[in-house]
Structure 1
Amino acid sequence: MENIIINGNNLTLEEVIKVSRKNYKIQLEEEAKGKILDSRKIIDDIVEKEKVVYGVTTGFGKFSEVSITQDDCKTLQRNLIISHACGFGPNFSKEVVRAIMLLRINALAKGYSGIRLETLNTLIEMLNKGVHPVIPEKGSLGASGDLAPLAHMVLPMLGEGEAEYNGEILPGKVAMEKAGIATVDLVAKEGLALINGTPVMTGVGAISLYDAVSLLKTADIACALSAEALRGIKDAYDLRLHVVRPHAGQINTAKNLLNLTEGSTFVTRQGEVRVQDAYTLRCAPQVHGASKDAINYVKERVEIEINSVTDNPIVTREGDVISGGNFHGQPMALSFDFLGIAVSELANISERRLERLINYQLNDLPPFLVKHGGLNSGFMITQYAAAALVSENKVLAHPASVDSIPSSANQEDHVSMGTIAARKSGEILKHAQRVLATEILAACQAIDFREGFTLGKGTKEAYDCVRKHIKFIENDIVMYKELDKCTELVASGELVKAVEEKVEVLY
C-alpha cells in the first residue's frame, strides 16, 4: 500500500476514499514543504513588526477590531480553539474524521496559510498513526468555514478534547501519548489556519458523492431487473430517441439499459405485450439521466474544493496577507443540496417501480410476489417501508443553503449551512440504498415466477449476485434480514462490481 503524496493540488475523490475508508497513509511532497516554510516566514515577519493583520495580530469575527500584542499571540490561538469547540450531537464516523483531517492537510499543504511545518506534520502523523479526534456532527454554520467541528479536530493536538485510538475513546493527551505524538503550542495564525475552512462539509459530502456514483449505476441495474420482471418495452431505450435530446446522463442511462438487457427474452418490443410502459420504466433514461448530470456537476465542484485554499486570511507568494471569504461554504452548500435532491429522485422512481412489481392490479404476477397470498404477506410491507424512506427523503431534500442566520454580532451576516446540506445528503443516500435494494430483491423474486425466459447479459449477473446471498422467498420469513443482505450488496458496491465484470455501466 503506497503512501498518497500530498501537495494541495491534485488530490482525487478516489484518494479521499482510500485514506478515509481504506486507511491509506499520506506523505507531504518535498516541494510543498518549501512553500509552507516561505508562507510561515511572512507571518513571523508580521508578528515581529506588529503589523495589523486579521487573525494574526487581531481578534476574530467582530473582535477583528481588537489588537493583540506579540506576547499574547500564543494565548490568542489556544483560546480560539478551546472557545470554538462547541459541537453537539452524535460524533462523526472514523471515515468522515479521516476525510476531514486529510482535506485540511491538503489545503494547508498549498502554502497559503502561514502554518508551521512542524504543526502540519503533527496533524499528518495523527492521521497516519490513527489518532482520530472526536468531532460532534452539529454546530457548523458553513461560514466562517466549519469552525466548531474543526476546533474539536485540533483539541487533541493541544492535549485537550478526546480522540479515538486503536478502537478506544481516550482523552486527547492520552491518545497522543500512546501514539507517540508530541502535542503542540500554536503560534500566530496557526489556530485560524487549522479551523477556518470547508473540510468538514467537503469531507462529509465527498464520501456521500463517491457512494452516489455507485448508486447511479445501481439504479440502472435495478431498473433493468424490473424491466425484465415486468416484461418492459426496450424500444424506449433506443438511442435514436435519446440523441435528439442529447443530455449526457440520459444517453448513458439508455445505453446502460440496452447493454444490461442485451440478449434478454424477458423484455419486449412495443406492441408485443403492451403499447407503452408506465413512466417509471419508459422514462428511466430521462429521470436517472437527470440525476447523473446533477451528480457529475457536484463531482466537478468537489474536485475543485478538495484542492482549494479555504481559510482566511491567505498569505500570497508576494508576501501580502489578504482577508477575504474563501471560507464561505456556498459552493459546497448548493452542491450538496443538489446531491441530496438528485439521490432522492433515484429513490422516488425506484419505490414506484417496486409498487408496480408487487401490485397485482398493475401486472400479471402473484399479489405481493408470494405463492400463498393471505396466509403469507410476501413483499407487501417492503413497499410501506420504502415509501416511508422516500417520504422522509422529501423532507430532508429541502435545501439547507436557502437558510442563513447572522452570527458574530452581525459581522458574519450571511452563512451557507453547507455542513447541514452535506450531512443531509448522506442520510438521503442511505435511504436510497435501502429503497433500491428493496426493488432489486422484489425484481429477482418476480423474475422467479416467470419460466422459459432468458435474462440479459448484465441483469443475469445482478440476479446471480443476489441469489448467491438470498434465496427465493417461498413463505413469509423475517424480512428485514433479507433486505439487510441486499442493502449490503448495494452499499458495498458488490452488486455493481459483479455486473461490471460483464457489462460496462456508465454514469
Structure 2
Amino acid sequence: MKNAILRESLSTFMHSITSQPLTLPILNNLTISQDQIELSKEVCDNIVRCRAYLDEKMKHSNMPIYGINTGFGSLCDVQISTDQLTQLQENLVRSHACGTGELVPKPIVKLMLLFKIKSLGNGNSGVHLATVQRLVDFYNLNILPVTYTQGSLGASGDLAPLAHMALSLIGEGEVWHEGEQKPTQDVLKEYDLKPIKLQSKEGLALLNGTQFMSAYAVHCLLKSYKLSYFSDLLGALSLDAFDGRLEPFDPLVQLVRPHKGQILTAQRIRAFLKDSPLISQPKAHVQDPYSFRCMPQVHGATKDALAHVCSVVLTEINSVSDNPNIFVAADKIISGGNFHGQPLALSLDFLKIALSELGSISERRTYQLISGQRGLPSFLVKSPGLNSGFMIPQYTAASIVSANKQLATPASVDSIVSSNGQEDHVSMGANAATQALKIVENVERILAIEMMNASQALAMRTLNTSPFLMQFLSSYRSEVQFMESDKPLYKEIKKTIAFMSSLDFDNDVLFEEIDA
C-alpha cells in the first residue's frame, strides 16, 4: 500500500518526540528540513498508562467527570450514559467545527499537529495511543486539516480551529494534501487509513488546548528572529549610506546601560561595518538622527521582548493545556483551566508591539535617506524632478507602519461572555495571534523597502561600505539592479522580499540573542 511504501522511504529521517522540551532551534530545523517525527517509547508508555487508568476509573465509578461522562461548557451538569460516550465525543467535534474566515496557512497547521502531539504525549490527557499516532501519521504524510482563522476566543482552548483538526481524524471535513484541498475520507482511503473512533475524553482532549495560538506564536517567532537580524543588517547599511557615525555603537556606551538586546545590537552593527572606508571617514556632522543613533536601544528592546515571548511560548508548547487533567500517580482527575490562553495572549500582544517598532524605526531611516541630506540626491535618483525616484516607496512604508499601529492595539484587554456565562472571561489570544502574523509580514515589507533605499544610496557614494556588506549587496544586486530612472517599483519590492526570504541562517546566528 502507498502508506507502507511512504513509511519505509521516510524512516531514515526521524525526530523522536520525547519528554524533553522542544526548543526554537529544534522547531526551526523541523520546519526547514520537513523531517518526520515518531513517538518515543517513554511517550507511548505515558499515553497508554494514562488511558488504562481512565478506563479503570470509568469501570468502577458513576461519578460525573467533566467532559468524560458529562456535557460541555454550560451543559457540564448533564450526565451522559456509558453507551453514548463515543457519540458524545464525536458530536462535540462536529458541533465545534464552525470556523470561518481565511484559511490558516499550511505551515501553521502543521505546527498545530506537532504541538497537539507534544501536549497529549505528556500522559495527562487520557487519549488512546492510536489517536496520537494518527496525528503523527498526518504530520508525516503532510495531511493538513483545512482550518480557519476565526472562531477561537482563546480560552476554552482554541475550540473551533482544533475541532477542524479533530474532524479530519474521524474522516470528515477537508484536508490539504499534495497541494490540493480534498475530502478527508478520500485521502484516508488513499493511504488505507480508517477513521479514528473517538472514545471517552478524546474529543475534548483534542479540542481543549492552545495549539492554534501556540502555532501562530512559534511561526511568528521564527520569522521575528530573522527580521531582528535583518533590522540590524539593514540598519548598518542605512547608517553607512547616510554617512553616519559609529560612536553610538561603542561598547562603553552599552556597558553603562547593559540591556542584553542593546549590547548585542551594537555588537552586530560594529561587526557588519568592520573595515568600512565609508564609516571611517571624517564626519562634518556631530550627531545622527535617533533612527540611526538609537538603533541599539530600539532594536535591542525588541530583542529583549522576543526573549520574553520565546520563554512563555516554549513553556506553553511543552505543557499540558487540555482539560480535565489526569494524574495517575496521585489518583486524581482534576478539572482546571490550563486551556486558558492568557499567557499567550499577553505575549502575542507584546510581540506585536515589539515587531511594529522595528518597522517604525526602519521607515524613519528610509525617510532620512531620501531627504536630500549629506550629499545624497533627493529621492535617491539622478535628475530629481524629472524623476520621482524613491519618493513613493516611503509612502508605502509609512502606510504599512500606520496599519501596524492599528494591528498592535492589544487584543488581550478585551473579553466577551460565552457559553451561557460559564466561560465568562476569555483571552482573545487567537485574535492576537492572527494580528501578529500580519504585523510580521508587514515588517518584512517595510524592511524590504529600506533595503532598496539603502542599496541605492550606497551606490551613489564614492567610498565603499564594509567587505561583509559589499558581499551582501553583490548578492542582492543579482536580483535587484540600481535604478537609473523611474520605473514601476512594485516588482522590485516583491523581488526584495523574495531575496530576504531566500536567505537561510545557522541557528547559532539566528538565535544568538536567546543566549546573549
Structure 1 position 90, deviation (Å): 1.2
Match of 1:324 among 336, 342, 346: 336
Instruction: Name the counterpart of 1:468.
Output: 478
Instruction: Name the counterpart of 1:178.
Output: 190
Instruction: Name the counterpart of 2:502.
Output: 492
Letter in 2 for 1:493: L
Instruction: Name the counterpart of 1:65.
Output: 77
Q: How does 1:108-123 map to 2 (within 5 A)?
A: 108-123=120-135
Q: What's the CA shift string for 1:411-452, capped at 9, x where partnerless? A: 11111111111111111011101111111111110011111x
Structure 1 position 37, deviation (Å): 0.7
Q: Percent identity?
A: 42
2:31 and 2:416 map into 1 onto residues whose CA distance is: 32
Instruction: Name the counterpart of 2:18.
Output: 7
Match of 1:479 among 460, 473, 489: 489
1:241 and 1:130 map into 2 onto residues whose CA distance is: 50
2:458·2:464 contact (CA, 8 Å) conserved in 1?
Answer: no
1:311 and 1:506 map into 2 onto residues whose CA distance is: 31
Instruction: Name the counterpart of 1:243.
Output: 255
Distance 1:504 1:151, change over 3 A: closer
Structure 1 position 156, deviation (Å): 1.4
1:108·1:120 contact (CA, 8 Å) conserved in 2?
Answer: yes
Instruction: Name the counterpart of 1:279.
Output: 290
Q: How does 1:223-302 map to 2 (within 5 A)?
A: 223-268=235-280, 272-302=283-313
Structure 1 position 84, deviation (Å): 0.4
SS in 1 for 2:176: strand
1:133·1:156 contact (CA, 8 Å) conserved in 2?
Answer: yes
Match of 1:147 among 148, 159, 165: 159
Q: Is there any run of 5+ residues in structure 1 with no aligned partner, and where?
A: none
Instruction: Name the counterpart of 1:423.
Output: 434
Structure 1 position 505, deviation (Å): 12
Distance 1:19 1:500, change over 3 A: closer
SS in 2 for 1:267: helix
1:389·1:431 contact (CA, 8 Å) conserved in 2?
Answer: yes
Q: How many residues align?
A: 501
Match of 1:315 among 326, 329, 335: 326
Structure 1 position 177, deviation (Å): 1.2
Instruction: Name the counterpart of 1:447.
Output: 458
1:213 and 1:272 map into 2 onto residues whose CA distance is: 33
2:243·2:283 contact (CA, 8 Å) conserved in 1?
Answer: no
- TM-score scaled to structure 2, two decimals? 0.94
SS in 2 for 1:404: coil
1:341 aligns with 2:356: no
Q: What's the CA shift string for 1:471-492, capped at 9, x where partnerless? A: 1111122211111111122233
SS in 2 for 1:38: helix
Match of 2:49 among 20, 38, 58: 38
SS in 1 for 2:393: helix
Letter in 2 for 1:209: L
1:280 and 1:11 map into 2 onto residues whose CA distance is: 36
Coordinate RMSD, CA, aligned: 2.0
1:354·1:383 contact (CA, 8 Å) conserved in 2?
Answer: yes
Q: What's the CA shift string for 1:314-349, capped at 9, x where partnerless? A: 111323111101101111111111111111000000
1:367 aligns with 2:374: no
Q: What's the CA shift string for 1:44-69, capped at 9, x where partnerless? A: 12322333211111111111111111
Instruction: Name the counterpart of 2:114.
Output: 102
More deviation, 473-482/404-413: 473-482
Letter in 2 for 1:241: V
Instruction: Name the counterpart of 1:199.
Output: 211
Structure 1 position 43, deviation (Å): 1.5
Letter in 1 for 2:437: G
1:103·1:306 contact (CA, 8 Å) conserved in 2?
Answer: yes
1:36 and 1:106 map into 2 onto residues whose CA distance is: 11
Instruction: Name the counterpart of 2:7.
Output: none
2:283 and 2:142 map into 1 onto residues whose CA distance is: 60
Structure 1 position 306, deviation (Å): 1.2
- TM-score scaled to structure 1, two decimals? 0.95
2:176 and 2:351 map into 1 onto residues whose CA distance is: 30
Q: Is there any run of 5+ residues in structure 2 with no aligned partner, and where?
A: 1-11
More deviation, 12-21/464-473: 12-21
